[in-house]
Structure 1
């Protein structure tokens, strides 16, 4: 009798309360190219690795070939090849970020979808995530925080993420060598546009509303959001935008420079212009090495000519080509293109400063001040005063050197420029919450807000610690992003009133265990930055 009761209970558990549903006829829906099959986990229909486009190397993305039958779409697809293969990692930080490097293939244009329903007649807001990694690395599966299940479930929204071409494959300007390469300088951006076009055509089959799409991304993904906002041909494919730690003010390269880089690449590969198609068959590793050498060569040439070269030199990324991207991202013309797009943007308090190793956490005030003096010279006292004004709750002297001044100035500049147009609303935030992991070493590091946005604290305990305060804050942050995606306003009852940002009120939501709205507190710090 006990055995029979056990089997009955097991049957009910497996059938009535199953966490995952799979099978030949489970989670089947249509796309323009053919049927796909996913799976259902905790009530969320999940699809991974669906082709949204395909392309020959350095050529425009095209619609994928149709397939017959039902395409299994239950695992992430290939990621873009890395410019330098990963052969070793830093143990501690790898534990914290918990990367999934995936497998690489140049045929990497894949889309993932999480949705609460596929045939219930609903048209849900679509949240279109663009991964970070600059313009050279990363993928839609790189971090566990990117998983869209919890966000889709909590908000009754459709979450989408993509892989696309990166590095030399996405940005080598071969436009001087033939019509089919005319737009090769910005293929990576055109891949993103192709993914948005896929959403427009197909997302209703996944319970989504093609007329309510929010693009959001972090770091390089935030910069890609800005790039799409400055892309005339992407107009109408999305309706709201969120930029997390991605307001890079570095000017995009011009056509003269990108074509010079390409000429150096084919020189390195011993390919003549009339035989340019040979570049399609060069092994990726050899191609990437030639690209790296070309970037350094042109960078060195520009330095000799007295031209400004930022950071370590030239790199791969979008460029002004006069057509796909006609304007610099922070120009008035670019802002004008997206003036009707509501924007939510911000940064984390510490970003990359935790990796700079300015001074140990146990440093005295005198030791910290000496480090400040080495950087700011006779402005050291002004720096200390500005930090104390901006962050009066600092507890340790060493924390005065942990304040991000790399990402935030660009975010403020973008917020000021966007809000000055007097069109769609702008909302500003700063993520202040300090992670307890590794004795508090990682603070509000770059990427720290992502598990909170996606409501993925449990998936990211290595980064967040997984304590109750993290869950409580994630509930508030994720709801703000959901509300913004639904109606362009992140306000909800769990937060204090979040005013629309403008350059006069500089209203900024500070996300912490206690969320508060403050005006810009770090203007004096900005004054100390190199002009």
Structure 2
């Protein structure tokens, strides 16, 4: 080819490119993936293919309080370049809608032969709030770090996902667990489509923080979820028992009364704008007090047994499971600079511990035991230790010990890494989110970004990715002899039964799962 010919071809190419607008040029490079329902368009970002707002279910507004419908096929190309709305809730979100059944995918490549481990994240928020439209749960760093496919899922929450109407009208037989059925529908979508995004549908890990972990524990006892995931990690989130149908109905009555809806006036309830249903969430819980609780219900339809009572669910015995908590869970809920702690002293310590407990033990006795065991501890340190051990930690212990008794493959960890930006918070609830996603510098993170934070984050990401890939952790399984526990910190290490004294102290009485 002569130089003149080459110059002519190059010039022609430049002319062609010049005739395209910048958006058109960018769109030509956008990744396209065929799903079973239709083609979706994502974006290339930093070496990854990213798909935000991929629909896995139809708009739930027309099926309020009922089971979700799978996404219907479409023609053309569906845009998946921006997050979709989150479920309506009292917490602030960028956009909210009952049309919220969407997921997001970060993948190193869309070759179906790659068969990368799939890590599906379920957000927290105690079944009532939360979203994966959050910088802390951006999947880019985790997908890159581990060469895995990361999926994050939104679903129905609060009254939209868990208002139990089954005893009032047979049309709403699935209402108490609609949010769980959304997640099961999302997992079916993953099973059927994730190979096209480079993932292995036979190697799906579920991981979730707080309420997300509780949702996973519940699915481990839900027959419809059987076979849809193959490993599980729960992060500060447990579900020992579900809400019973009688208590769930009492909560429904309180919610309807707050809305001013008469029992049986379902047409009015179905026609209400979602904003009004959110306003009704200010109803007082008739069992617990405070805001009305919503969560999975023992409806004997989709959920026919409690998640971890009277034992570990047999259907999940073969699923490797990792359970974890943070060292100072309640430092996230009870402000170290707030009035409860700021005016704390030995005279009022027991009284202030009492309302935080989920164990019916004498708080005065608890304080006396801690003071005898740890005579150099301050009132504040005992307050946070006792409220964490008697409120946020027992469910994890119960689940781990139940699985150990059944011989199910189980590993336990504890996050001791303390906030570098808010040191008074210690190692609080939610600090494990940026550590496990590698989003240390994201809005809302309190880890800091120094070398210690990076070391703790690498340790957690390596552990999670390794577990996703092999179904085994790099430390000994949890058993009733050693209770081996990985301590994630700037220098991570394994300890046996690291809070054994507190575990035994609170094991004297039953744990009461909130909402059950």
Q: Return the TM-score normalized by structure 2.
A: 0.83
| Corresponding residue for residue 75 of structure 1 | 82
Q: Quick one: which of 510, 521, 526 aligns to 2:487?
A: 510
Query: What are the residue-to-residue correspondences of 1:511-530 with 2, within 5 Å?
Result: 511-529=488-506
Q: Quick one: which of 413, 422, 430 aligns to 2:414?
A: 430
1:482 correspondence with 2:459: no
Separation of aligned partners in 1, 2:278 and 2:270: 13
* Contact 1:359–1:368 (CA under 8 A) maintained in structure 2: no
* Contact 2:91–2:130 (CA under 8 A) maintained in structure 1: no
1:279 aligns to what SS in structure 2? helix
- Deviation readout 1:304-344 (Å, 9 max, x if unpaired): xxxxx346375111110002111112214652121111110
| Structure 1, 351-360 or 219-228: larger mean CA deviation | 351-360
Q: CA deviation at 1:65?
A: 2.4
| Corresponding residue for residue 172 of structure 2 | 181
Structure 1 residues not aligned, in runs of 5+? 1-10, 12-20, 87-100, 300-308, 492-497
1:224 correspondence with 2:222: no
**1:139–1:387 CA distance, 2 compared to 1 (3 A):** farther
| Structure 1, 448-457 or 221-230: larger mean CA deviation | 448-457
**1:462–1:187 CA distance, 2 compared to 1 (3 A):** closer
* Contact 2:452–2:490 (CA under 8 A) maintained in structure 1: yes
| Corresponding residue for residue 97 of structure 2 | 105
| Corresponding residue for residue 304 of structure 1 | none
**1:72–1:246 CA distance, 2 compared to 1 (3 A):** same
Q: CA deviation at 1:515?
A: 1.5
| Corresponding residue for residue 140 of structure 1 | 132
**1:259–1:379 CA distance, 2 compared to 1 (3 A):** closer
**1:370–1:521 CA distance, 2 compared to 1 (3 A):** farther
Q: CA deviation at 1:185?
A: 1.2
Q: CA deviation at 1:288?
A: 3.5
Q: Quick one: which of 28, 37, 52 aligns to 2:32?
A: 28
Separation of aligned partners in 1, 2:221 and 2:123: 18
Q: Quick one: which of 107, 113, 116 aligns to 2:108?
A: 116
* Contact 1:164–1:188 (CA under 8 A) maintained in structure 2: yes
Instruction: Give the length in aligned residue pairs.
Output: 467
Q: CA deviation at 1:351?
A: 1.3
Separation of aligned partners in 1, 2:254 and 2:489: 49
| Structure 1, 117-126 or 195-204: larger mean CA deviation | 117-126
* Contact 2:255–2:292 (CA under 8 A) maintained in structure 1: no
Structure 2 residues not aligned, in runs of 5+? 1-13, 15-24, 354-362, 510-516
Q: CA deviation at 1:518?
A: 1.3
Q: Quick one: which of 228, 240, 261 aligns to 1:237?
A: 228
| Corresponding residue for residue 380 of structure 1 | 367
Q: Quick one: which of 417, 430, 453 aligns to 2:402?
A: 417
- Deviation readout 1:156-201 (Å, 9 max, x if unpaired): 1110011100000111122245443211111000000000000011
Separation of aligned partners in 1, 2:174 and 2:445: 41
Q: CA deviation at 1:505?
A: 0.9
| Corresponding residue for residue 319 of structure 2 | 341
Separation of aligned partners in 2, 1:397 and 1:110: 46
**1:503–1:312 CA distance, 2 compared to 1 (3 A):** farther
Separation of aligned partners in 1, 2:312 and 2:171: 27
| Corresponding residue for residue 10 of structure 2 | none
* Contact 1:352–1:445 (CA under 8 A) maintained in structure 2: yes
| Corresponding residue for residue 246 of structure 1 | 237
Q: Quick one: which of 207, 211, 215 aligns to 2:198?
A: 207
| Corresponding residue for residue 426 of structure 2 | 443
Q: Quick one: which of 64, 67, 73 aligns to 2:71?
A: 64
| Corresponding residue for residue 159 of structure 1 | 150
| Structure 1, 24-33 or 378-387: larger mean CA deviation | 378-387
1:352 correspondence with 2:359: no
**1:51–1:43 CA distance, 2 compared to 1 (3 A):** same
Q: Quick one: which of 381, 386, 393 aligns to 1:399?
A: 381
| Corresponding residue for residue 149 of structure 1 | 140
Q: Quick one: which of 467, 481, 488 aligns to 2:450?
A: 467
Q: Quick one: which of 245, 257, 266 aligns to 1:276?
A: 266
Separation of aligned partners in 2, 1:44 and 1:197: 24
Q: CA deviation at 1:109?
A: 0.5
| Corresponding residue for residue 306 of structure 1 | none
Separation of aligned partners in 2, 1:453 and 1:319: 30
| Structure 1, 64-73 or 163-172: larger mean CA deviation | 64-73
Separation of aligned partners in 2, 1:180 and 1:373: 48
Q: CA deviation at 1:418?
A: 1.0
Q: Quick one: which of 235, 244, 249 aligns to 1:259?
A: 249
Separation of aligned partners in 1, 2:302 and 2:337: 45
- Deviation readout 1:26-75 (Å, 9 max, x if unpaired): 21101122111111111111001111002321222111222221111111
**1:499–1:180 CA distance, 2 compared to 1 (3 A):** same
Q: CA deviation at 1:252?
A: 2.2
